[in-house]
Amino acid sequence: MAERLSYIVFLLSLAILAFCAGFFVAFRQLPPTSLVAQLYEDSLDLFRNWRHDLGIEPTLLLVEAPVPGAEPTNSLNPERMMPGLRLVSELTPGRQALAGLRLIDPEGAELHYWPVDYAILAPEGESPNRVFLHGVVPLEDGSIVVNFDNGGVLARLDSCGDPQWVLDGNFHHVVSNSGRDTVWTWQAVPDSDGVERKSDREYMVEVETETGLPIRRISLEDDVILPHGLQGRFAIRGEERANVVDFGFDPFHPNDVEELSEELAPAFPLFDAGDLLISLRSLNMVAVLDPESGELKWSRIGPWHRQHDPDFLPDGTISVYDNAMGTGRSAILRVDPETDEVWSTFEGDPPESFYSYRRGRHQVLENGNILIVESEAGRVLETAPDGEVVWIYNNRFDENRNGLINEAFLLNYSFFADGLPSCVRETEETP
């Protein structure tokens, strides 16, 4: 009995020592803490998403439908809808590619379909099941420019979905049309100065739509923040370092960049045509900067929380998609950059409240309606100025789930230069 008791005490002592050693290693973040933590996260990811990883079902891209069994398209009040074409980037299972864009009429009838097959654009890259169609912009010739969440390319596709050019790089979140035969996007680039930092450098990149060649790259850190002494405003989450400003992990999370057009510039006396409007999610910041000098002309932190998609509007205000992460209720806000006054233009009320804790886009239409992408619900809403929801589109996957949506646009009937896009490859043409 004494021998057995001694053996038990010995084992308990080892367990206590192992616990104390593990606690000390974890507390001090010593190796192999990060390895064990990563292994744990990867194991959870594998358990939750094995069907996705095996290509059985795209579970990472599916969400519970706000209204189970709802019709894909519901024109609640056609008379108040903005006339035009609706372009939606969505999940398209069972078709030519898992991701795609559908051009539909107000009743939901499909007018054209662009398959977006990541496997063709990046044959050696991630599985299409592991990436998400992120930024999209349509061009007047019927082509589109796209990038991907967790992907590694920026690409222009023709009306058949065939690549016209592919630019390698971690381009993410947004593609916006400058109106000058170029597009703007964000690119994350690993540091190359020999100083180890926790995050990649973030660049605003302007790319020619015809060739896919980058013609301008603006570093948020090296061209805007550090030369103008703005680290006190932008490095609020920074790491303690003696000889370098280390902004920490994902310090900005930039998710939008768009150029102020010549047409809208007179409505914004603080800015000039060509200035860039950006959104930095991690800082809850919306800002406008001069792309030539890097000067920050205006910025505002909150009241939005983890916002997306600020847009210049013709009345001299900026509209912001306020995700309001963690609150259960998103909103569309508007800010006057001259006065810094902020007010709400739409907050959904039951039964049509809307909430997307991440992602999300919106478009203020000519008649005052707002087209709202409720990404994490897999649907698009059109709301009237008085808050009435006049149109709903669901990316239906099955009875209870929707596929994620990241982009939706309302286009004029005359947007496409040669009429509605069609897919006719050279090999398919009649001799």
Q: What is the pLDDT of residues 85-128, one digit of tens each?
A: 999 999 998 899 999 999 999 999 999 999 999 999 999 988 88
**pLDDT, tens only, 19-76:** 676 666 566 666 665 566 556 665 666 666 676 666 677 888 899 998 888 889 999 9
Cα gap 396→373, rounded to integer Å:
15
pLDDT at 348: 78
pLDDT at 246: 84
pLDDT at 59: 85
What percent of the chain is modeled with pLDDT above 90?
Answer: 72
Residue 299 has pLDDT above 70, yes or no: yes
pLDDT at 127: 85
Cα gap 408→277, rounded to integer Å:
20
The token pair that represents 362 in the structure block: 């919106």
- What does pTM read for this prediction? 0.87
Q: In the predicted model, what is the mean pLDDT of the chain?
A: 90
The token pair that represents 216 in the structure block: 């301008």
**pLDDT, tens only, 210-240:** 999 999 999 999 999 999 999 999 988 888 8
pLDDT at 392: 96
The token pair that represents 51 in the structure block: 């069907």
Residue 265 has pLDDT above 90, yes or no: yes
Triad 227, 232, 238: Cα angle to 5°: 100
Q: Is pLDDT larger for residue 291 or for residue 424? A: 291
Q: Is pLDDT larger for residue 165 or for residue 236? A: 165
Residue 308 has pLDDT above 90, yes or no: yes
- Which range among 8-22, 238-252, 407-421 has the greatest average pLDDT? 407-421
